[in-house]
Amino acid sequence: MLDDLYQEVILDHTRRPRNFHQMPDATRQAEGYNPLCGDKLKLFVKLDGETIADISFVGAGCAISTSSASLMTETVKGKSRQEAVQIMERFHDLLTTEKPAAANIGKLTVFSGVREFPARVKCATLAWHTLKSALTDAAEVASTE
């Protein structure tokens, strides 16, 4: 029953990914690639001080990578950079630990079943790794101003 509900959320975000567009005025961007599956995405982040004011992505990948990127953008929008990194750690824990600590990560729980398919863990975490590099890279997007 629960699995069906999770499956439904993942399918919904695969069919209609949220925040799926380019962002010309992004302050940060990063590209992610998962060669094991062929998932590719480009992430756009608009930072306002320490806050992720806006975030979007484009790309092509499997259902898990696309829905994970979509849910990630919904989850971290409006959060601080530090909060986003904390959520990422809890999400990674959910996917890799047999008995993850009770993690309050909301909708991201739908990916708990991915734990049983180690090859797909990289699909689910691709967007998060890309976010991390977008948030931590010193290099900002080149500006003509």
φ/ψ of residue 60, rounded to 5: -140, 135
Counting contacts by CB under 5 A, is residue 123 touching Zn ion?
Answer: yes
Q: Which of residues 69-108 bind Zn ion (CB under 5 A)?
A: none
CA distances from 26 to 29, 33, 46, 74 (A): 7, 20, 5, 17
Per rule CB under 5 A, count of chain residues that contact Zn ion: 5
Q: Is 91:108 a contact under the CB 8 Å cutoff?
A: yes
CA distance linking residue 22 with residue 99, whole number of Å:
37
Q: Is 91 within 8 Å of 111 (Cβ atoms)?
A: yes
Contact between 37 and Zn ion by CB under 5 A: the answer reads yes
* Window of 5-13, 31-39, 90-98, 111-119 that interacts with Zn ion by CB under 5 A: 31-39
Q: Single out the segment in contact with Zn ion by CB under 5 A; choices: 34-42, 90-98, 101-109, 130-138.
A: 34-42
Cα 55 to its chain centre, rounded Å, is: 10
From the CB of 37, what's the least distance to Zn ion, in Å?
3
When the beta carbons of 77 and 120 are compared against Zn ion, the nearer one is 120
Least separation in angstroms between residue 58's CB and Zn ion is: 16
Contact residues for Zn ion, defined by CB under 5 A: 37, 39, 62, 65, 123
